[in-house]
Amino acid sequence: MQDLAVSIRDQIISYVPRNIGEIIDRHPVCLWESLEEIRLRLGRPLALHGRQGDLFLDSRGAAVAAAEAYRPGREDLEQALHLISSASLYAFEQELRCGYITIPGGHRVGLCGQAVLEQGRVARLKHITGLNYRIAREINGAALPYVRYFIDYRRRRVRHSLIISPPRCGKTTFLRDLARLISDGVPELGFSGFKVGMVDERSELAGSFQGEPQLNVGHCTDVLDACPKAEGMMMLLRSMGPQVIVTDEIGLEEDVRAMEEVIHAGVAVIATVHAGTLEELRARPGLRRLMQMHIFERVLFLGRSRGPGTVERIIDPRSGKVVYGGSDV
């Protein structure tokens, strides 16, 4: 764990303004073991967020109340932008339009400021006033106890599946590891693996930097990075011959239409969606249609009852039977 903390620290600290990096480095390196976010907000408290909550630091690196914390200035934010963009923001126009820049290691720096609109759509951001360094963590093996529920051994295929949960419950981490296992195979289950296509619209699943995945998504996984989900699914279907397509956080009508096309082409789909219950899932028009069509064969619910990433239950939505966890629905 200490080695991992050092690795994460080394990946991120060179992209943080020097004086803020020095403030953070006054804490033991074990801080990085549970650190999830570093937030720089113009004129507001420097905040580090981890599993234990928010930590505010003063200029000496001491933990203090928010009112006493170091407050990043314009020079801090300009230096941060210079570092994360390799001194050329123009080269990152597409990322700026999406509100983030990915740095080596798969970590993402979210950006807030003033949106510049062209024809009613966000063209770029200017006057950046907030940065959020979001630390990417992969947990190899997170999905291993559950992968067998997603495989139809009799027909040698992967089941169409949804992973649902409220925000910050580990959907992306679980989906990434599930994709890795489906791609690499699981010898102890007699499962040799499939060709996986991954549409990573927000560069979170594979954590790609300059198109190269920084996180382990499997040997037989092709990643389409920073591409809209609906368009990406169709591109993969036409060009890469996947047996399974994986994508994160569906919800738009065009996402649902693309999923239908993929499924009708005989390709399995695994995706995540924000929802807490089946009722919330069915309340979303596009997804309700898919549920009524009995497309999905497995729905996995993630929660926090035993910490983030807890698999609460897995159901067969066609029958309402629970195949893992609590009572039938």
- The band of 87, judged by pLDDT with boundaries at 50, 70 and 90, is low
The CATH architecture of the domain made up of 2-134 is 2-Layer Sandwich (3.30)
Fold classification of 144-325 is Rossmann fold (3.40.50)
Distance CA 285, CA 288 (A): 5
Burial track 173-196 (b if 16+ CB lie within 10 A, e otherwise): bbbbbbbbbbbbbbeeeebebbbb
* pTM for this predicted structure: 0.84
Say what the pLDDT of residue 115 is.
87
Say what the pLDDT of residue 305 is.
87
- The band of 90, judged by pLDDT with boundaries at 50, 70 and 90, is low
Say what the pLDDT of residue 306 is.
86
Say what the pLDDT of residue 91 is.
57
Contact in structure between 205 and 217 (CB atoms under 8 Å): yes
On the question of pLDDT at 124 being above 90, the answer is: no
3-state secondary structure of 73: coil
Distance CA 59, CA 19 (A): 8
Q: Are strands 157-158 and 100-103 parallel, antiparallel or unpaired?
A: unpaired
Which residues in the chain are classed under CATH 3.40.50.300?
144-325
Environment class of 49 (CB within 10 Å of its CB; exposed 0-12, middle 13-18, buried 19+): middle
Which residues in the chain are classed under CATH 3.30.450?
2-134
On the question of pLDDT at 88 being above 80, the answer is: no
Strand partners, 268: 244
Say what the pLDDT of residue 75 is.
96
Q: In terms of Cα–Cα distance, which of 269, 216, 264 is closest to 242?
A: 269
